[in-house]
């Protein structure tokens, strides 16, 4: 246990750490450094030189506040003369008007009885204040003239950083002529006096002086003229300068014509009201502000300098609002009318895109749009309405023979069947012949291309046979079809005896005759035809099938 340097108060007394005998200072107790903080002014504040600056702060400590030593220190002027201790709440304050010009770091320093120190700092600027007053001429302003034999009120604005403006002495003099007047100054710094000067041109001197003898001056040119050279109405023109009415500020050379019955522009070339808002200047029947003097229209003209621009006119591509609706070139080929960002003939008035629009009445149709199947529109302006992979497209199978039936394999998505992708399904049994497909009903004399006569994809042969019999030139006597029962129904009948024979592709029973003449048999429903052929030995016989005739004698 540490016991070195412990005080002993009496013999036999307990040695207690941190206890001191009467009259000795306490040792071994804890102590923290005091606190300091600024309340005012704010960091970065600026003050004019000579202004009283008040500093406020607070200090704190775990010991008695009245034992704290407080100092105010400037980085430029050093320790500032103040020795007031903090109050019971730790508040401290200090005021001075003697800080030097420049940027100061002001420190609030506090030291306790144990020599422990606390500190807070802010930065303030003390600005140089000019010693001279300031003065600015208000009247006469540049170019302003005075009227002969008429008093004129001269005006100036004055101020001073050290004293009130009304304490300044302001004097007005002229060259030539000398002293004119002392000017009265009010609390806002407005200085004025009235004087009547003779005809001539002057240089005026306005002089302001403060109580310390500091002087500031300002100068102004001033001319006194006759009534003919004076601008009485303030429109910038005198009678000698061309003003034809110097009592009306709206009448002067070049003034805009107004609907007031007066010659506002002082020009004989443009009578009263011509070029005014109530006059139809471009002859299109409209004026800017009806009722019009020379037109009967009641709608206002938006451009009275363009005869083709008036309400409800035809809009043309000319960068003018022809129909007065507030828009320019709308409805023309250079305007994006449907709002899709494209017009028919770029460059466009209301968009920057350069590709032409193929339909400016449909916002879903433009070069940047996606093709949509079934809407009848060329959405992307590529020249067709059937585009691969368009929105809502249908997948079609490879259909090389174009019969509408495809085969298994790759597909393509189109709005409409597009060769060779026209197959709606993969049920085609042979894709090399358009006559071969599921459900085909015809019979064929030639195979489909691969040696097979299975044209309807049922795995049976739909083959048609043609047999020619001798005895009658070019006479085709009988046709028969694969996959059908054909021939005599029962025994072969005798010559001239009717019998049943299936001889065409409809698989129905045909009623015919067997003619056994000259050792050659013929099948026909018309015996006279056979006889004629046999007798002539030439010609073409056209058998008529599906005919039930009575028996004829054999010849």
Which residues have CB under 8 Å from 359's CB, separation 6+?
Answer: 338, 365, 366, 377, 378, 381
The CATH number, out of the four listed (2.60.40.10, 2.40.50.100, 1.20.1250.20, 3.30.590.10), of the domain defined by the range 35-127? 2.60.40.10
Q: Tell me the CB-side half-sphere exposure of residue 61, using CA atoms within 13 A.
A: 28
Distance CA 45, CA 415 (A): 77
- pLDDT tens for the chain, residues 1 to 555: 333 343 433 333 333 333 444 444 444 456 899 999 999 999 999 999 888 999 999 999 998 998 899 999 999 999 998 878 899 999 999 999 999 999 999 999 999 989 999 999 999 999 988 889 999 999 999 999 999 999 999 999 999 988 899 999 999 999 999 999 999 999 999 999 999 999 999 999 999 999 999 999 999 999 999 999 999 999 999 999 999 999 999 999 999 999 998 999 999 888 888 999 999 999 999 999 999 999 999 999 999 999 999 999 999 999 999 999 999 999 999 999 999 999 999 999 999 999 999 999 999 999 999 999 999 999 999 999 998 999 999 999 999 999 999 999 999 999 999 999 999 999 999 999 999 999 988 888 889 999 999 999 999 887 765 543 333 333 333 344 444 444 555 565 554 455 555 555 544 445 444 433 333 334 444 444 444 444 444 333 333 333 333 333 322
The pLDDT of residue 395: 96
Q: Is 278 helix (H, G, I), strand (E, B) or coil?
A: coil
- Torsion angle of C-alpha atoms 474, 477, 481, 487, degrees rounded to 10: -160
Q: 172: closest CA among 156, 159, 161?
A: 156
Distance CA 381, CA 373 (A): 14
The domain spans of the chain are 35-127, 134-229, 464-536
Phi, psi of 66 (to 5 degrees): -75, -5
Burial bucket for residue 135 (CB in 10 Å: 0-12, 13-18, 19+): buried
Distance CA 455, CA 403 (A): 12
Asked if 523 contacts 477 with a C-beta cutoff of 8 angstroms, the reply is yes
Same fold yes or no, 35-127 and 134-229: yes
Phi, psi of 229 (to 5 degrees): -105, 5
The pLDDT of residue 508: 47
The CATH number, out of the four listed (2.40.128.20, 2.60.40.1220, 1.10.3080.10, 3.40.30.10), of the domain defined by the range 134-229? 2.60.40.1220
pTM: 0.43
Give the pairing type, strands 145-147 and 190-195.
unpaired
Distance CA 133, CA 171 (A): 13
The pLDDT of residue 50: 85
First to last CA, the chain: 163
Which residues have CB under 8 Å from 354's CB, separation 6+?
Answer: 346, 347
Burial bucket for residue 537 (CB in 10 Å: 0-12, 13-18, 19+): exposed
Q: 340: closest CA among 357, 324, 323, 326?
A: 357
Q: Is 240 helix (H, G, I), strand (E, B) or coil?
A: helix
The pLDDT of residue 531: 44
**DSSP state letter for 309:** -
The pLDDT of residue 128: 87
Distance CA 536, CA 524 (A): 17
């Amino acid at each position: 246990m540490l016991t070195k340097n412990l005080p002993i108060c009496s013999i036999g007394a307990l040695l207690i750490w941190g206890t001191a005998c009467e009259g000795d200072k306490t040792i071994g107790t804890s102590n923290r450094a005091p606190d300091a903080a600024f309340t005012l002014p704010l960091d970065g504040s600026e003050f004019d030189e000579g202004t009283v600056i008040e500093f406020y702060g607070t200090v704190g400590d775990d010991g008695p506040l009245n034992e704290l030593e407080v100092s105010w220190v400037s980085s430029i002027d050093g320790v500032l003369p103040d020795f007031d201790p903090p109050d019971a709440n730790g508040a401290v304050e200090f005021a001075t008007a003697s800080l030097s010009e420049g940027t100061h770091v002001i420190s609030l320093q506090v030291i306790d009885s144990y020599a422990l120190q606390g500190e807070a700092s802010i930065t303030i600027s003390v600005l140089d204040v000019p010693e001279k007053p300031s003065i600015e001429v208000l009247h006469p302003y540049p170019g302003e003239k005075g009227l002969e034999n008429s008093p004129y009120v001269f005006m100036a604005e004055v101020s001073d950083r050290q004293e009130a403006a009304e304490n300044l002495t302001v004097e007005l003099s002229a060259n030539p002529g000398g002293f004119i007047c002392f000017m009265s100054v009010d609390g806002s710094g407005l200085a004025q006096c009235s004087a009547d000067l003779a005809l001539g041109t002057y240089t005026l001197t306005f002089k302001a002086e403060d109580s310390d003898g500091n002087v500031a001056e300002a100068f102004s040119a001033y001319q006194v003229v006759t009534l003919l050279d004076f601008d009485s109405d303030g429109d910038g023109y005198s009678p000698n300068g061309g003003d034809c009415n110097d009592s009306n500020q709206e009448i002067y050379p070049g003034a805009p014509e107004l609907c007031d019955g007066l010659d506002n522009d002082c020009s004989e070339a443009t009578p009263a009201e011509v070029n005014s808002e109530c006059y139809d200047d471009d002859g299109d029947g409209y004026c800017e502000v009806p009722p019009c003097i020379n037109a009967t229209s009641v709608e206002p003209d938006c451009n009275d300098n363009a005869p083709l621009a008036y309400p409800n006119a035809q809009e043309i591509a000319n960068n003018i609002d022809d129909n007065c609706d507030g828009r320019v070139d709308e409805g023309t080929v250079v305007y994006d009318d449907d709002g899709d960002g494209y017009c028919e003939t770029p460059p466009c008035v209301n968009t920057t895109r350069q590709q032409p629009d193929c339909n400016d009445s449909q916002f879903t149709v433009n070069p940047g749009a996606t093709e949509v199947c079934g809407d009848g529109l060329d959405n992307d302006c590529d020249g067709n309405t059937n585009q691969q992979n368009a929105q809502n497209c249908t997948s079609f199978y490879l259909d090389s023979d174009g019969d509408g039936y495809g085969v298994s394999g790759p597909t393509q998505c189109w709005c409409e069947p597009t060769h060779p992708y026209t197959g709606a399904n993969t049920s085609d049994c042979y894709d090399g012949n358009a006559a071969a497909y599921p459900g085909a009903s015809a019979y064929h004399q030639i195979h489909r291309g691969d040696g097979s006569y299975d044209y309807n994809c049922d795995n049976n042969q739909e083959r048609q046979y043609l047999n020619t019999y001798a005895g009658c030139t070019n006479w085709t006597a009988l046709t028969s079809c694969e996959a059908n029962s054909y021939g005599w129904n029962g025994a072969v009948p005798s010559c001239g005896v009717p019998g049943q024979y299936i001889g065409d592709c409809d698989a129905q029973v045909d009623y015919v005759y067997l003619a056994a003449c000259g050792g050659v048999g013929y099948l026909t429903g018309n015996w006279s035809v056979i006889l004629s052929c046999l007798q002539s030995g030439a010609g073409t016989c056209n058998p008529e099938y599906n005919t039930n005739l009575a028996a004829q004698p054999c010849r």
